[in-house]
Amino acid sequence: MSETVLHQHKWIDVVKYRWVWFGLSLLLIVPGIVAMAYNVVNSPNHSPVKVGIDFTGGTITQYSVNKDVSNSEIEKLRTKLVNQGVENPVIQVLKTNNTISKAENLNASTIISVKTAFKSNDIKAEQKIGDVVKSDYPSAELVQVSSIGPSLGKELFVNSLYALGLAFLGIVVYLSFRFQVDYAVIALISLVHDALFVLGFFAILGIFYNVHIDALFITAVLTVIGFSNHDTIVVFDRIRENSRFLAKKATFPEIVNASVNQTLARSINTSLTTLITLAALYLFGGETTKEFVLAMIVGIAIGTYSSIFFASTLLDWWRERQESKKGARA
Amino acid sequence: MKNKKLMFWMIIALVIVAVVIIIKKPTKLGLDLVGGSRIVLEAQTTDTIAKITPDMMSSLQFAIENRVNALGVAETVVQQTGEKRLLVEIPAISDPAKAKEFLGETAELEFKKPLDGKYGATGWAPTGLTGKDVKKALISTNPGGQWVVSLEFNDKGTKKFGELTSKMVGQSMAIFFNGEMQSAPTIQEPILGGHAQISGGDSGFAYEEAKKMVDLLNAGALPVPAKIIEESLVGPTLGADSIAKSKTAGIVGIGLVMIFMLLYYRLPGFIADIALIIYSLLVFAVFKVVPVTLTLAGIAGFILSIGMAVDANILIFERTKEELKAGRTLFTAINAGFDRAFTSIFDSNMTTIITCVILYFLGTSIIKGFALTLIIGVLISMFTAITVTKNFMHLLFGAGQLKHPGWFGIKQSEIGKAYEATETKKEKAKFGILD
């Protein structure tokens, strides 16, 4: 077969295998949806993804210590805290990759994190926690306190949902304006596809590793949406351009195939460079942004997949249905 | 060509300005990087205060500023956010619990008289004399060696206090601070000099306690009660650690991306790398000029924008390669690469900006920081990845034929193979024929 603008031998025929991609997408998304449903039923606040104090309100106090902390020690600490009148403390031990306090040569390897309910203007709880931790671990150093009131948490949550909704709307309006409405709707569907996957992924992490999402997570999802949309637009832009010049020569599926393949190197390379920077952030960056970065890594990977295989084939499938409807009417 | 040279020197000048700014101006680092305490206070409505007015907020801000200043820490921030909230930032604080205790207290001082006429076993009634009538508070000791708080009334207070004590000889007068009775001395004789003393009852005050009361009284009571609704505190070691880690992540991230671009796109990749360095310099200069307070999330936004900045170059180079393969001359291939890639770059960056603007307006301060750095990054990347790269490529390659396809990472055999269709398109289009 000759090499033409519409066909080169090394190209992948994305349109031909569209049911494979649709199936794969289902396979990727369904476990997350199951996990979210499981969380809705089982978690105390019926949230599909486990939410942290940013949204529920609460206080987390973290101390770094320079030795390992065993489970029995955690239990002991808990009892002591309860005896001191700290209500329902949830203690977690986090491992750090030891660079914390390197400057001070403390080599603190472990962080003790105590979660309690939010107490406005009550400094005593904080001091009690400090006193108890320091009595067991004299070297303990206060690393971080974050405290959010429950009403503020609720407000943050509602604002985050607004932000998500507005972002979706903004993108659809912009795309309808620059492209056509069906391009915009399909771009939106593939964004929902990506957002669902990331949410599902964290729902699963929540079940197995007790990962809670925070306000930064919403930022990550929004960034992923922006980025994935980036990819989808590049492919759609090429389809638009090719349609303009090749509409009489080629069928729509051929145009879609050509467009996807022409932009393939770009899609993969861009995601690769972004994933490289994110991996650097994940491996070497600050502890506090780790989950945020993970959410973006997962999101950008799925966003690349969806723009290459899902959005383009969905567009083709949609156009095919429209055509056959028209044909049926005529 | 003349324009291109002019552009080149303008770019160089811009880079020099950016470097000077980076060296001269200090970076504003957020509290999560330097360590410190960030507290959000919310004014509370009460039975008597139904609505929080802007006036109340400004006097609340004034009172809180006084208190924060009394802590003696440099570079504190007290700023109104929203209709009834104050944001307080205290960097590098040694005793965060004290600061917190200090901010939330209403510091309401009240003098009360007994209902039963003698000691107040049945309760206390207000006298109308409050902390507002106090001109100055001082810490001192009484003859018994206990710490006491000495009060000096203003003119109105002196008069009120004189009248009250004249009427109440032989009775107790109770002094309440924040609704808690401090002491209830019996009045021996009228006090007309405008001075009073608060002792801490039988046990006396601890020094800290007395000092705090003096500071609070001097700073003034809060016009409305305020509650802490959010607090985040970062220890200085975590901040230092975050800075070190972000630096490593940034350098490794940029380094790897540069190596990738060089290996995959060869000479254009090298130009993109230079554009990326220029990009980083310009972004940092803008951060310092605005100024953007750099936080951990903000740095993450910047590092992410590196990935996005090279995206434009990848789009352009891929397109240029296609055009070269179609057999175009270098000059037209480069131009076509830029022109054709532009709509994709523009549309995709616009949607990123849309999401960032939404984040900026709806997000909390952490999210705002992320959105702001990403917006600045995307805007500057449009300039560096398009204008700067294009200029460098034209200057470097000139207008001739592509003599060394390897520079672009393509083989001689690939050239002219594809795109007969696009080749003929323009000539045909002239006659109104569309392929």
Min Cα separation B348/chain A (Å): 4
Query: What is the C-alpha separation between B394 and B398, in angstroms, rounded?
Result: 5
Please provide the average confidence, as pLDDT, over all residues in chain B: 82
pLDDT level of residue A69 (50, 70, 90 thresholds): confident
Summarised one tens digit per residue, pLDDT across range A127-153 is 778 888 888 888 888 888 888 888 888
pTM for the full predicted model: 0.79
Q: What is the mean pLDDT of residues A196-217?
A: 90
Preferred mutation among A230, A239, A246 to probe B, highest tally of B CBs within 10 A: A230
Backbone angles phi, psi at B183, to 5 degrees: -160, 160
| Interface contact A167, partner B, CB < 8 A | yes
Q: Test B235 with A99 for CB contact under 8 angstroms.
A: no
Residue B288 has pLDDT above 90, yes or no: yes
Summarised one tens digit per residue, pLDDT across range A76-131 is 888 888 888 777 888 888 776 544 444 444 456 788 888 888 876 566 677 778 88
Q: List the single residue in B with minimal CA-CA distance to A130.
A: B97
CATH topology of domain B109-219: Gyrase A; domain 2 (3.30.1360)
Q: What is the mean pLDDT of residues B86-105?
A: 76
Please provide the average confidence, as pLDDT, over all residues in chain A: 83
Q: Does domain B240-430 have CATH number 1.20.1640.10?
A: yes
pLDDT of residue B119: 67
Preferred mutation among B42, B98, B103, B238 to probe A, highest tally of A CBs within 10 A: B238
Residue B154 has pLDDT above 90, yes or no: no
Residue A34 has pLDDT above 90, yes or no: yes
Q: What is the mean pLDDT of residues A160-174?
A: 84
SS (H, E, C) chain A: CCCCCCCCCCCCCCCCCHHHHHHHHHHHHHHHHHHHHHHHHHCCCCCCCCECHHHHCEEEEEEEECCCCCHHHHHHHHHHHHHCCCCCCEEEEEECCCCCCCCCCCCCCEEEEEEECCCCCCHHHHHHHHHHHHHHCCCCEEEEEEEECHHHHHHHHHHHHHHHHHHHHHHHHHHHHHCCHHHHHHHHHHHHHHHHHHHHHHHHHHHHHCCCECHHHHHHHHHHHHHHHHHHHHHHHHHHHHHHHHCCCCCHHHHHHHHHHHHHHHHHHHHHHHHHHHHHHHHHCCHHHHHHHHHHHHHHHHHHHHHHHHHHHHHHHHHHHHHHHHHHHC
CATH number, domain A18-50+152-329: 1.20.1640.10
Residue B411 has pLDDT above 50, yes or no: yes
pLDDT of residue A297: 93
Q: Test B422 with A141 for CB contact under 8 angstroms.
A: no
Residue A292 has pLDDT above 50, yes or no: yes
Q: Test A273 with B307 for CB contact under 8 angstroms.
A: yes
pLDDT of residue B326: 79
Residue B422 has pLDDT above 60, yes or no: no
Q: What is the mean pLDDT of residues B354-375?
A: 83
Quote the tokens at residue A245.
């010049």
Quote the tokens at residue A160.
């985050």
pLDDT level of residue B185 (50, 70, 90 thresholds): confident
pLDDT level of residue A29 (50, 70, 90 thresholds): very high
pLDDT of residue B303: 76
pLDDT level of residue B229 (50, 70, 90 thresholds): confident
Q: What is the greatest pairwise CA distance in chain A?
A: 85
Q: Test B358 with A166 for CB contact under 8 angstroms.
A: yes
Query: What is the C-alpha separation between B167 and B191, in angstroms, rounded?
Result: 11
Structural contact between residues A150 and A56, judged by C-beta atoms closer than 8 angstroms: yes
pLDDT of residue A311: 93
Summarised one tens digit per residue, pLDDT across range B80-95 is 887 888 888 888 766 6
pLDDT of residue B431: 46
Q: What is the mean pLDDT of residues B211-230?
A: 80
Q: What is the mean pLDDT of residues B50-70?
A: 84
Q: What is the mean pLDDT of residues B126-152?
A: 83
pLDDT level of residue B121 (50, 70, 90 thresholds): low
Which of A94, A29, A109 has its CA nearest to residue A62?
A94
Q: What is the mean pLDDT of residues B321-327?
A: 82
What is the CATH architecture assignment of B33-105?
Answer: 2-Layer Sandwich (3.30)
Least trusted range by pLDDT, from A66-70, A141-145, A265-269: A66-70
Residue A216, CA distances (Å) to A118, A168, B295, B352, B355 in order = 20, 18, 13, 17, 14
Query: DSSP assignment of B343-394, as one string?
Result: HHHHHHHHHHHHHHHHHHHHS-HHHHHHHHHHHHHHHHHHIIIIIIHHHHHH
223-282 of B, contacting A, C-beta below 8 A: 227-235, 237-238, 240-242, 244-246, 248-250, 252-254, 256-257, 260-261, 264
Residue B400 has pLDDT above 80, yes or no: no
Residue A1 has pLDDT above 60, yes or no: no
Query: What is the C-alpha separation between A148 and B202, in angstroms, rounded?
Result: 39
Q: List the single residue in B with minimal CA-CA distance to A293.
A: B300
Quote the tokens at residue B186.
């019996």
Residue B287 has pLDDT above 90, yes or no: yes
More confident residue, B407 or B37: B37
Structural contact between residues B406 and B301, judged by C-beta atoms closer than 8 angstroms: no
pLDDT of residue A7: 64
pLDDT level of residue B432 (50, 70, 90 thresholds): very low
Torsion of CA B402, B407, B413, B417, to 10 degrees: -70
pLDDT of residue B416: 61
**Three-class secondary structure of residue B72 per DSSP:** coil
Tell me the one-letter amino acid at B414: E
Q: What is the mean pLDDT of residues B160-189?
A: 82
Q: Is the ipTM value over 0.85, yes or no?
A: no
Query: What is the C-alpha separation between B2 and B394, in angstroms, rounded?
Result: 12
Backbone angles phi, psi at B82, to 5 degrees: 70, -170
What is the CATH architecture assignment of A58-148?
Answer: 2-Layer Sandwich (3.30)
pLDDT of residue B120: 62
Query: What are the boundaries of each domain within chain B?
Result: 33-105, 109-219, 240-430
All residues of chain A having their beta carbon less than 8 Å from the beta carbon of residue B432 are none
Place of tokens 């001269």: B24
Query: What are the boundaries of each domain within chain A?
Result: 18-50+152-329, 58-148
Tell me the one-letter amino acid at A25: S
Q: What is the mean pLDDT of residues A10-32?
A: 89
Q: What is the mean pLDDT of residues B31-60?
A: 84
Structural contact between residues A98 and B204, judged by C-beta atoms closer than 8 angstroms: no
The percentage of residues in chain B with a pLDDT greater than 70, rounded to a whole number, is 91
Which of A25, A29, A27 has its CA nearest to residue A198?
A29
Q: What is the greatest pairwise CA distance in chain B?
A: 113
